[in-house]
Amino acid sequence: MSININRTVLSIAVGAAILVSACGESTSSSSGSDFGTTPTPNPDTNFNTQALLENITDNIITPIFEQFSTISAEQIPALMAYCQMETDAALGNATSEEVTSSRDQAKTAWRNTMNVWQQAEVMKVGPLAENDGLLRDKIYSWPVVNSCSVDFEIVNFKAGVVNGQPYNIANRTPSRRGLAAIEYLLFNEQLNHSCTTSTQPENWDNQTDEYRKVARCEFAVEAARDVNNSAQELITAWSGSNGFASTLKAAGSSGNPFSTELEAINRISDGMFYLDTFTKDSKLATPLGLLANSCGSQRCPEDVESEYAHHSVINIENNLLAFQKLLTGDAGVGFTHYLIDVGDQDTADSMSTGVQIAIDDVQSYQVTLAEMLVNNEAQVTKTHTDVKAITDKLKVDFITSLSLELPATSAGDND
């Protein structure tokens, strides 16, 4: 079965996995009866919830969003330089070594951008959560990816028109753009299109290698510009006038959409459930075969997150590092301080310890996640177990002790 078809099957499987259990990994997503209600503050604590909101907003989330905007901008000239080198090589004015060096620099720029994004994703609050996560998907649509659609976009962009209208990447669906598309264009060595259906990019495979390399690179530049535009949209929605950051910090004030500070804190905790739905389930349980995948609910290296760049392990590490910052408050007030204040030292300690164990575990990997699945499946299973221990605490003890509500994707979850 082709990679492209597998990607489609995986996308369907991931959606279904939230509703059904497979191989002992239950992930029901039906909302609990109390979902959407306003959390009731714990009357037995005088914890400074305002300090928690301010620290997480100003010292954790905002710097990551700003860093992503900066580093996604730096990706553009790196790609442009690589494109110029491919163009020069096509004219006989650059060596293969020069092209390779330039491409490696573009790959490094992509990896740097992805590293920051994988932390930002765990901070799925406000702009990244609104409109069913549309802004998030425009930046990085995984697990809904389709290399064949990207192949078509290269042709559309080169032609400058699509469906009779001037080409505008901002109007294209998320799976045709974003960081996942750039990964496919930069790290996939195959120049032929990946489509296996009767509908295929016309005459693409008949073009010269030089033509296709330049065309692919040019679309990667366009996709990088689009990612940076979305990053700037995120910054404006978060930090701009009347942005979501100021709304969070003013929770409980007159006219604020959050009637209490605890309600605003609950939105932050909702974002932290990324570790459960994406990291544990999609990035680990699915390729392990604990959830339905494109290999039929068995070990499936093809279903790892970063198929072309082999960046899966580092992505998981960055997810955990971001979760750790939110949990502990980094150098300021975090959720562990809140847990201790309400008398749940055990949950604060076990979650803090558990996150560090999981980080140490993934940092010990010496090969890619796909290779580890083949050669040492037990190690990947241990990683899943480590992350699950954290999310089990998150779903029960953490939520209960802080009088919070489960997010829609986890309420009623028996896993």
What span, in angstroms and rounded, lies between the C-alpha atoms of 276 and 288? Answer: 15
The reported pLDDT for the residue numbered 45 is 65
Contact 56, 334 (CB under 8 A): yes
Concatenate the DSSP letters of all residues of 224-244 into one string: HHHHHHHHHHHHHHHHSTT-H
Contact 89, 168 (CB under 8 A): no
Give the pLDDT of the chain (415 residues) as one tens digit per residue: 333 434 444 443 444 343 333 334 443 333 333 444 556 555 556 899 999 999 999 999 999 999 999 999 999 999 999 999 999 999 999 999 999 999 999 999 999 999 999 999 999 999 999 999 999 999 999 999 999 999 999 999 999 999 999 999 999 999 999 999 999 999 999 999 999 988 999 999 999 999 999 999 999 999 999 999 999 999 999 999 889 999 999 999 999 999 999 999 999 999 999 999 999 999 999 999 999 999 987 999 999 999 999 999 999 999 999 999 999 999 999 999 999 999 999 999 999 999 999 999 999 999 999 999 999 999 999 999 999 999 999 999 999 999 999 997 665 455 5
Q: Give the pLDDT confidence score for residue 42 in this predicted structure.
A: 58
So what's the pLDDT on residue 60? 98
Residue 389: predicted pLDDT: 98
pLDDT given for residue 415 in this prediction: 56
* Residues 93, 95, 96, 97, Cα dihedral to 10°: -140
Q: Do the beta carbons of residue 146 and residue 193 sit within 8 Å?
A: no
Nearest to 273 by CA among 387, 189, 166: 387
SS3 of the chain: helix, strand, coil, percent, to 5: 65, 0, 35
C-alpha 172/C-alpha 159 separation (Å) is 15
Full-model pTM: 0.89
How many Å apart are CA 320 and CA 311, to the nearest integer?
15
Burial of 302 per CB tally in 10 Å (0-12, 13-18, 19+)? middle
- What is the maximal distance between C-alpha atoms in the chain? 75
What's the confidence (pLDDT) of residue 413?
53
pLDDT score, position 197: 83
DSSP state of 198: S
Judge contact between 326 and 268, C-beta under 8 A.
yes
> Both tokens of residue 274?
């990324």
Number of other residues whose CB lies within 10 A of the CB of residue 363: 11
Contact 231, 72 (CB under 8 A): yes
- Domain edges within the chain: 3-28+257-401, 63-239
Distances (CA, A) of 169 to 70, 161, 214, 277, 411: 21, 11, 18, 29, 36
CA dihedral 114→115→116→117, nearest 10 degrees, is: 40
- Element spanning 161, H or E: strand 161-162
d(CA 100, CA 406) in angstroms, rounded, equals 48
Q: Which of 273, 7, 329 is nearest to 141 (CA)?
A: 7
